[in-house]
């Protein structure tokens, strides 16, 4: 292991809120061979997600809850998309249009409540997925350093 590279990566993670309690949304987008939805629709959904997180104050270092987002070319469902998955609960969503992403941001990423009408799969063993409604406090705000 190269300790300098380790330190560089650890330092870069701090302003991103990595290591704090967080949720992470992956959205299938811009696949080389778009299968689950129109490529332009997936790009529009991704741009909307970024804009919505910024509007809600969830994409900066001052965000009260660390929300990470990643564009995934394909999440292998390849139908009824755009497809998204939110961790740590491992909840999978179909039909992630801008309107549905607004629900996911407000209800799940912030509130900790799964958007049941669009969730089609989930990990069975997390506290949030044992009941249909996760605790709104599921992502606690960390104390100031
Ligand atoms: S192209 Fe969206 S999941 Fe495969």
Q: Answer whether residue 60 is part of any domain.
A: yes
Q: Answer whether residue 76 is part of any domain.
A: yes
- Tell how far the Cα of 108 is from the centroid of ligand 1, in angstroms: 21
* Rounded distance between C-alpha atoms, residue 136 and residue 115, angstroms: 13
Best residue for ligand 1 mutational test, from 81, 94, 96 (most atoms within 8 Å of Cβ): 81
Q: For 23-81, write each residue's pLDDT tens digit.
A: 999 999 988 887 899 999 999 999 999 999 999 888 766 666 789 999 999 999 999 99
The DSSP output letter for 96 is -
Number of independent structural domains in the chain: 1
- What's the predicted TM-score (pTM) here? 0.81
Tokens of 84: 């998204």
Reply yes or no on whether the pLDDT at 107 is more than 60: yes
Q: What distance separates the 2 farthest-apart alpha carbons in the chain?
A: 47
What Cα–Cα distance (Å) separates residue 145 from each residue in 14, 66, 142? 12, 15, 9
Q: Answer whether residue 58 is part of any domain.
A: yes
- Tell how far the Cα of 103 is from the centroid of ligand 1, in angstroms: 20
Residue 78's pLDDT is 94
Q: What is the CATH number of the domain that holds 52?
A: 3.40.30.10
Domain boundaries, position 35 = 22-130
**In the block, residue with structure tokens 């390849």:** 78
Which atom of ligand 1 is found nearest the CA of 75?
A: 3
Residue 142's pLDDT is 36
């Amino acid at each position: 292991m190269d300790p300098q590279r380790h330190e560089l990566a650890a330092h870069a993670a701090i302003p991103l809120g990595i290591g704090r309690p967080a949720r992470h949304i992956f959205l299938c987008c811009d696949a080389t061979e778009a299968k689950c939805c129109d490529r332009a629709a997936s790009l529009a959904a991704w741009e909307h997600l970024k804009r919505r997180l910024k509007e809600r104050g969830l994409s900066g270092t001052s965000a009260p809850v660390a929300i990470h987002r990643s564009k995934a070319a394909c999440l292998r469902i390849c139908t009824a998309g755009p497809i998204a998955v939110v961790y740590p609960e491992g909840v999978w969503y179909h039909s992630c249009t801008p309107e549905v992403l607004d629900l996911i941001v407000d209800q799940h990423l912030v509130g900790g409540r799964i958007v049941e009408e669009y969730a089609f799969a989930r990990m069975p063993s997390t506290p949030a997925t044992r009941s249909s409604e996760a605790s709104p406090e599921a992502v606690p705000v960390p104390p100031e350093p």
